[in-house]
Structure 1
């Protein structure tokens, strides 16, 4: 499968293609538009669950715990979804996945509205999270098919990161508006509907789907190594866990802060400002011809993120919190984009979709843990104590990144992970 991440060599090219040319790629819009709708679960799901369960139980701790179960399930199942898509095709994974997700999300909604016990909410949260479609990595894989060997691959990598961040502008605003002005369950119901419609439309675009790797006899018996076996990927997973702690901690803490000042409607606005900073920084990163190595860029970007996140708990007004949230958001995008960029040099081509899902899953797992801890802090400590979670998560991840930064060196380019693929003698890793 073609890489969908930006290499440092490509980034340094003086005549880099632009976003306009990328979006004129034949067939691109057929998967971009439905893919955008199907991406909304990652941006809407956690916040919709928090707002619904907090409304029905009165506890941010309970709401955070249910959301955490969903996030953990998504994190654990995401890499296997990516691997199945590589082996059997995206359509074969997406169609049953979106059907299960919509049904599980509606069941969770019904249970919450009818005052079901916490264990029942946990039971419904497991399939809800496990079935979240991994559309972002699948879109990246489709760009690889359309742009194989093209210099536009670098632009596509930046564009995908910006698209991911844009969902975090639209998703939280939409979830908050629906839950606070329509009905507490409206966010989760809309999320399920968008997933179902967008996922099925995306799966229907068979012409842009990456081909399934096959053996010489035409059967799909290609052996794949797990991307998790690459040391650098494990370092990136830790850094993305820290990024997830920012998302999760911000979601719970912003909701608690705006409720404490009697302005719950500001929650979506403040989170949208945070996500907007993320998106704008992503656009800038995609337009810069970087000469600094991605390893160094990741360390600098992550240090800035940890510093900015450490100031969140000091905010005592919505205006100051919005400014700090904007700064934190602007620091996240460079770290995310650079992390995805490093996958190209660390992971053999046959395992990159799985590598992307490991990183996506790490964000979800970090978000789930942060939602749980931040919810407990808000319930048991002072208003705003949940903002300590992004600080702790990013500082711990930064320490790990600094200690293990040597593992981010690129692997030899001749290594392969699937029989019948690559240019040198194939080696079965597992």
Structure 2
């Protein structure tokens, strides 16, 4: 059943590409929490720590698409190398500013610059898979593998940074994240055999290939709504555990949710799907909305863990289908940019989701706040219905252009 994974990893350079991409992506789940732990330890203020982390996150979301465009035009090697050095320098200055008690405005500035420079390795590695592999089914398997690795990052990263920051030194967690990012990204970007060629803006050959916005816009809305769902569910789950006087269990509950997604991601990549990715995005979004509804009725921690694990099964197949659809409709010369649009949508939705669910928790309790996630899933399901249903170049059923 899982021979499909072996087949794609036997391509020259594929295993090394994917594994170095995994290391380079660790900061995605480590730096935000690392900033909170570092700044709160130095200032005794979670409010300031959260604001600094938000500056980092918003800058990352704001500049991801621009970096994706540069990756397509200039090539991954140069752009990722510069981004990793810029990221490492900015976060290093952030640590120095906090430790040396520099003016707080510098802390915000360095956090924002670090977020802007964070290398878009997740989009880049998926663009490489699309370049290396010829068969749509193999690309589907590769995207499933990367979704599984993403889940591993989001399970292991927060645990690693929290343990290092609380048992060793507040700087330790964020320092490991920086080292992983810089070393991993430089190693990843140096692998030229799997890198897609740059696609500079055409001059004499005509205008640049247009982005298929008719498919990209509703798909970006789907991703943003799912980002709201994720942000709301994370905050709500922590509040639910605290209401039951076991706040420390919240990490385990979220890990079970991610484990469900990881499991379904492995299965998704090993299967041959008859329906195209646009069909799977529509059904997956609907399944995610439905999966959030039972959480409103749960009243016990063990039951919540079980329900979250089952609910997680809807995540990876939906995200894999979203990336597969992006790969199917976006021109090769703008693929990394297209991937970055989807990643930006996800990131941009997390903060509003967390904020809205926090307000509901304060006024109605944790159980009611799970309805925020359900509503966000419903928005994603509705947006998915706007995806075109005509044929495309790489799958039997997905749209090819706007």
Distance 1:222 1:204 in 2: 31
Partner of 1:182: 168
Match of 2:208 in 1: 224
User: Conserved in 1, the CA contact under 8 Å of 2:128 and 2:195?
Assistant: yes
For residues 272-320 of structure 1, what are the alpha-carbon distances to aligned partners after superposition, in whole Å with 9 as ceiling and x for unaligned?
2211111111111112222234333222221121122234455444323
Q: Give the counterpart of 1:340 among 323, 330, 333.
A: 323
Are the structure 2 counterparts of residues 232 and 276 from structure 1 closer, same or farther at C-alpha, using a change threshold of 3 Å?
Answer: same
Equivalent residue for 1:369, pick from 339, 344, 352: 352
Q: 1:51 to 1:304 in 2, by over 3 A?
A: farther
What do the CA deviations read for 1:116-170 (whole angstroms, capped 9, x no partner)? 7875554333212211111122112222333245863342232222222222222
SS in structure 1 at match of 2:189: helix
- Give matches, 1:392-411, under 5 Å: 392-402=375-385, 404-405=386-387, 407=388, 409-410=390-391
Deviates more, 1:347-356 or 1:275-284: 347-356
CA distance in 2, matches of 1:167, 1:390: 22
| Inter-CA distance 370–304: structure 2 relative to 1 (3 Å threshold) | same
What does 1:16-415 correspond to in 2, within 5 Å?
18-53=4-39, 63-111=49-97, 121-148=107-134, 152-213=138-199, 223-225=207-209, 227=211, 230-258=213-241, 263=246, 265-375=248-358, 382=365, 387-402=370-385, 404-405=386-387, 407=388, 409-410=390-391
User: 8 Å contact 1:133–1:199 — kept in the other structure?
Assistant: yes
How far apart are the structure 2 equivalents of 1:182 and 1:257?
29
Change beyond 3 A, Cα 1:260–1:132: farther
Could you report, residue by residue, the CA deviation over 1:236-284 in whole angstroms, capped at 9, with x for unpaired residues? 1111112212332344344455556665543433222211111111111
Structure 2 CA distance for aligned equivalents of residues 223 and 334 of structure 1:
35
Could you say which structure has the higher helix fraction? 2
- Say whether the 8 Å CA contact 2:237–2:366 is kept in structure 1: no
Deviates more, 1:329-338 or 1:139-148: 139-148
Q: CA deviation at 1:87?
A: 1.2
Asked if the contact 2:226–2:346 (Cα under 8 Å) also holds between the matched residues in 1, the reply is yes
Partner residue in 1 for 2:397: none
When residues 388 and 175 of structure 1 are mapped into structure 2, their CA distance, relative to the original with a 3 A threshold, is: farther
TM-score with structure 2 length normalisation?
0.84
Q: Is the 1:70–1:126 contact (alpha carbons within 8 Å) kept by the matching residues of 2? A: yes
Name the CA distance, whole Å, in 1 between partners of 2:375 and 2:86. 35
Change in 2 beyond 3 A, CA 1:313/1:68: farther
**Using the alignment, how far apart are the partners of 1:38 and 1:87 within structure 2?**
22
Instruction: Say if 1:87 and 1:220, in contact at 8 Å, map to a contact too.
Output: no
Shift of 1:211: 1.9
1:38 positional shift: 0.5
Aligned to 1:419: none
Once residues 210 and 143 of structure 2 are traced to their aligned partners in structure 1, the CA distance between those partners, rounded to angstroms, is: 22
- Structure 2: unaligned runs, 5 residues or longer: 395-400
Is 1:232–1:408's contact at 8 Å kept on the other side of the alignment? no
Task: Give, in angstroms, the shift of residue 212 of structure 1.
Answer: 2.1
Mapped partners of 2:52, 2:269: distance in 1? 36
RMSD: 3.5
Tell me the CA shift for residue 336 of structure 1: 0.7
